[in-house]
Amino acid sequence: MNSSTKKISLWSAVGIGVGAMIGAGIFALMGEAGAIAGKAVYLSFILGGFVAAISGYSLAKLGARYPVAGGIVEYVVQSFGINIFTGAISVMLYLATILSLALLAKAFGSYAAALSNFKGSLLHTNIFALSIMTLLGIVQYFGIKKIIKFQNVAIIITITILVTIATGGLINMKPELMAPALYPSSNKILFSLAITFFSYEGFRIITNTAEDIINPEKNLVRAIFISIAITMVIYTALAVAVFGNLEVDQVIEAKDFALAEAAKPIFGAIGFTIISIAALFATSSSINAVLYAATNISYQMAKNGELPGFFAKPIGQTREGLLVTVFLTAILIIFLNLLQIAAVGSITVLFIHAVTHLGHLKVIQQTKASKFLVVTALLTTLAVIVLFLIYSIKDSYTILYLFIGILTLSFLIELIIRSITNRKVNKGSEGFFRKIFK
């Protein structure tokens, strides 16, 4: 967190981005996306990657112009000023980041439970999920150097295993299982975009390295594009490998550990074990990256007066916001399931990206970005939101209600914090929060 010396190289930033994306995409969401797009899910991953790249361009140009740890929190403030709206968007981003952490922890828990012969046990899934959050909270307590070391080791192991599995899967795949005649309608591929886009959402974590990365003006842009490109290749290869070896029903049945199930026909029982181990490394590296981002986001928000001041106070080699983030993530782990977290998290993040791109148009002369690409980023993001909402409300309004709930909660939290601040009792509220989270 100390910004006096730069500690993150270009490739370390790429590692943070790839690590944040792969854990969410392949291990947590392959089954969920496959349930919608079926055999054509690889096309959805490709399209999701392009949407992410366009969005990434907009965020990268903002990050290069405003290289601060808060990332999107700072960008919306620069575009719209400090007010109730930007405060609520910042709160929503923080909540979305916590949703991402809960998703990743649940995915870790699912694989850990399956590997420990507790497959399908919600209790053991939650125990493992809570355990990894606690462990990585301790790692982050000791600062950025420990974070980077953990990230580099985890991502090297993960990519090595995934490339091996993808290669074996592609060699042994049954072409008839990927026949275009088996693809669902094109609208289902488009509907699944919100899920596959969310599997790339971790790229924005790179913008939170701005205070620590070497030469942010150049390296933020490069790191975002390189990490998305690497991730897209891995996602596409694995999606083809999975659905080229399994029927759609088998993938949906496995769902939370679909990739491990797909390794069985290729490598036998040992394949399930190997890919489950890779999943543990991948999801833990994602949690590590997203937790780092969440701490930086809450730090920036506290500096802006959008969260109580103690979020920005030092503790160990990090900030006290880390403790709050771990605590709130634990609550979501206990009370929400994987699909609900993925769906509402995706819609929330897409909405925040749309607001950020809209704001970018107000400061585009300062960022010197392409207006065409920023407008494209805005329109594609809005299109994905509309498509997914149309799909989700056909069966249930739950996801829409959860999104509206998060939006409403974000404004309420911002109004309460402003009320406390205006009455000059922030110090007292700080003490109240300390009692809860310490």
pLDDT at position 24 over 70:
no
The structure's pTM equals: 0.78
Assign a CATH topology to domain 10-437: Amino acid/polyamine transporter I (1.20.1740)
Q: Tell me: the pLDDT tens digits for 297-334?
A: 888 788 877 777 778 887 877 777 888 899 989 988 88
Do residues 171 and 291 lie in contact, with contact meaning Cβ atoms separated by under 8 Å? no
Q: Give the H or E element holding residue 318.
A: strand 318-319
Q: Which residues contact 371 (CB under 8 A, 6 or more apart)?
A: 361, 364
First-to-last alpha carbon distance for the chain, in angstroms, is 20
DSSP 308: -
The arithmetic mean of pLDDT across residues 330-347, rounded, is 75
Position with higher pLDDT, 429 vs 230 = 230
Distance of alpha carbon 432 from alpha carbon 438, whole angstroms: 10
Q: How far is CA 110 from CA 25, 150, 187, 219, in A?
A: 15, 21, 30, 35
Say which range, 81-85, 252-256, 267-271, 286-290, has the weakest mean pLDDT.
252-256
- Specify the DSSP element, H or E, that contains 315: strand 314-315
Question: Half-sphere exposure (CA, 13 Å, Cβ side) for 233?
Answer: 9
Percent residues over pLDDT 90 in the chain? 19
